[in-house]
Amino acid sequence: MNKEKFIETYAVERKQTDSTKWDALEERFGDGELLPIWVADMEFAVPKTVSQALAERIQHGVFGYSMVTTDYFKAYQGWQQRHAKTNLQEEWLSFSTGVVQSLYDLIDCFTEVGDGVIIQPPVYYPFFNAIQDKHRTLITSDLKLEAGRYVMDLADFEAKIIAHQPKLYILCSPHNPVGRVWSEEELAAVMAICEKHQVLVLADEIHSDIVFQPFCSAVMVENGRFLDRLILVNSSSKTFNLASLLNSHVWIPDETLRTQYQNWAKEYKQTENSLIGQLAAKVAYETGDEWLEGLLATINSNYQYAKETFAEKLPNIQVTPLEGTYLMWVDLRAYVAEDKVKEVVQDTAKLAIDFGEWFSPDAKGFIRINLATTPANIEQAVTQLIAAIQK
Ligand SMILES: Cc1ncc(COP(=O)(O)O)c(C=O)c1O
């Protein structure tokens, strides 16, 4: 599906639908009139096939305990095979209500209070929260910018592991907010360091469908070399914007780790599956390929527009290449002093965005723009931002 058809068919108005992105602006930013291009949530309805299946189920009117069917697994396995080239096995899989919930659960299950957990900022801020809320020791190895593109600092990563001996590494792949799709070589290198020092790898691959170049899943690195110390989490919630339907996946290929998790879950997780969440995901996995094509075309076009417009009007704004995710990481420091970003972006340009320091204390002066919206919203945001900076 092309961008025009996608927007015509699926773009929706979201104000006054109890949307955090649109209706919590006063509460979150102190200004209900901002244009929201913050939280990773989109202005596009799910594929028609999904809303139809949900409507039929709602019409049925019964929402009792539900089971996971083989059809669900087949749909998910097929989607993963087509889009991420993975070889998901049924026994690896368990369910949760969200990827962030799983981060908390897996930290609980596989580490003890006080243990170190290592992450690579700038990175999705709930990684920090999960580690700190669970009273683990936060260890960071910052990504480094090389010729305008972020890379892992492997020497620093290994040095931090040797110094602090973390038990767990949370990998963000593709990486939010810097938009990297890690190559197999980069993943192999970082996972080999973890193997050498016996650090468990928790790969958050929630953005794996939103990619503009080939994606390599952590389970496929060097033909599954690292499966015995790897846990993977993902969900249809980013791809199809289904976050509030509370259905996500945990993969644990290694039997010993899986048993450890199952024993932990027996004690702490007695929730049922989300009937509606699983139905939406199943139908999306079965029929959503063309929809995803339209979404990717729209995100890419919004990215090109924003990048080219910044290059023309404010050429010293630095934008990292968008290899994956629908999030644009923008360095405003050439024009805006670090302590003036809120004043310029929020008070003057009237935008609700994610500020750089949410992702790293060293990322002041950066902002993250959510591109998964209509071209009209992106044009408005870019125009208002440029005018505010020029002022
Ligand atoms: C890297 C990453 N993990 C997890 C999530 C959220 O997942 P969930 O809504 O399933 O908790 C996001 C949302 O943007 C994300 O970017």
* Per-residue pLDDT reduced to its tens digit, 8-24: 999 999 999 999 999 99
Q: What's the average model confidence in pLDDT over 124-148?
A: 97
Residue type, 191: M
- Residues whose CB is less than 8 angstroms from the CB of residue 231 and which lie 6 or more positions away in sequence, other chains included: 106, 110, 200, 201, 202, 203, 250, 251, 252, 257, 261
Index of the ligand 1 atom closest to the CA of residue 248? 10
Specify the CATH class of 3-46+289-390 in words.
alpha beta
pLDDT cut 90: percent of the chain above it:
98
Nearest to 116 by CA among 107, 106, 129: 107
Q: What's the average model confidence in pLDDT over 305-322?
A: 97
Q: What is the pLDDT of residues 166-213, one digit of tens each?
A: 999 999 999 999 999 999 999 999 999 999 999 999 999 999 999 999
pLDDT confidence of 280, banded at 50, 70, 90? very high
Q: What is the pLDDT of residues 355-371, one digit of tens each?
A: 999 999 999 999 999 99
**Does the pLDDT of residue 271 top 90, yes or no?**
no
**Does the pLDDT of residue 390 top 90, yes or no?**
yes
Domain formed by 65-287, architecture = 3-Layer(aba) Sandwich (3.40)
Span from the CA of 182 to the centroid of ligand 1 (angstroms): 18
Span from the CA of 206 to the centroid of ligand 1 (angstroms): 6
* DSSP H or E segment with residue 137: strand 137-140
Q: What's the average model confidence in pLDDT over 247-258?
A: 98
**Does the pLDDT of residue 374 top 90, yes or no?**
yes
Distance, in Å, from the CA atom of 137 to the CA atom of 185, rounded to the nearest integer, reads 28
Distance, in Å, from the CA atom of 383 to the CA atom of 391, rounded to the nearest integer, reads 12
State which of 96, 106, 124 you would mutate to test the pocket of ligand 1, scoring each by most atoms of that ligand within 8 A of its C-beta: 124
Q: Are 140 and 165 in contact (CB under 8 A)?
A: no
Which residue's CA is the nearest one to ligand 1's atom 13?
40
List, chain by chain if needed, residues with CB within 6 Å of any ligand 1 atom.
40, 98-100, 124, 172, 176, 204, 206, 235, 237-238, 243, 248
Q: What's the average model confidence in pLDDT over 238-265?
A: 97
pLDDT at 95: 95
Nearest to 371 by CA among 361, 363, 382: 382
Q: What's the average model confidence in pLDDT over 299-327?
A: 98
Q: Are 331 and 318 in contact (CB under 8 A)?
A: yes
Question: In which region does residue 99 sit, left (phi positive, over 0), alpha (psi from -120 to 50) or beta (all else)?
Answer: alpha
Domain ranges of the chain: 3-46+289-390, 65-287
pLDDT confidence of 272, banded at 50, 70, 90? confident
Mean pLDDT of the chain: 97
According to DSSP, residue 131 is labeled H
Sign of CA dihedral 170, 171, 175, 180: positive
Span from the CA of 308 to the centroid of ligand 1 (angstroms): 28
Span from the CA of 299 to the centroid of ligand 1 (angstroms): 18
pLDDT confidence of 270, banded at 50, 70, 90? confident
Q: What's the average model confidence in pLDDT over 33-61?
A: 98
